[in-house]
Amino acid sequence: MAEKTSGFFAEFKTFIARGNVMDMAVGVIVGGAFSNITNSLINDIVMPLLGIFTNSVSFAEMEVQVGPAVVTYGNFIQAVLNFLIMAFVVFCLVKALNSFHKKKEEAPPPPPPGPSAEEALLTEIRDLLREK
């Protein structure tokens, strides 16, 4: 049983040490921080400006009463705008990365090196032997 457990943990350690798992972890952390920035952009800048056109100070205050229920559709609008901004930023990042990789792939490969001095000498000897 001890071998099975240590094998399991060794496999887990190998899995965690892979580059893409670490990249994913960094992406999640940076994404969480970026989410806070996007939320602030929406809540503190975009929504107050849009509130000017809707005669409302905040979209969060936009609601409608349907019987005893209160539907706060302003929060939904904020969430949709937040999603659209995040999706646009991710799209721009992926597009930039793809164009970077495309430029890297399009670069022509360097020309093959010419024959070495030894190869040139051997080729010359071969050609002389053919002539005889």
Confidence label for 28 from pLDDT (cuts 50, 70 and 90): confident
Local structure of residue 76 (DSSP, 8 states) = H
Q: Cα(39)–Cα(91) distance, rounded to whole angstroms? A: 18
Q: How many domains does the chain have?
A: 1
Q: Is residue 68 scored above 80 in pLDDT? A: yes
* CATH value at residue 52: 1.10.1200.120
pTM as predicted: 0.50
Residues 6+ apart with CB under 8 A from 39: 82
pLDDT at 8 over 80: yes
Residue span of the structural domain in which 77 resides: 2-131
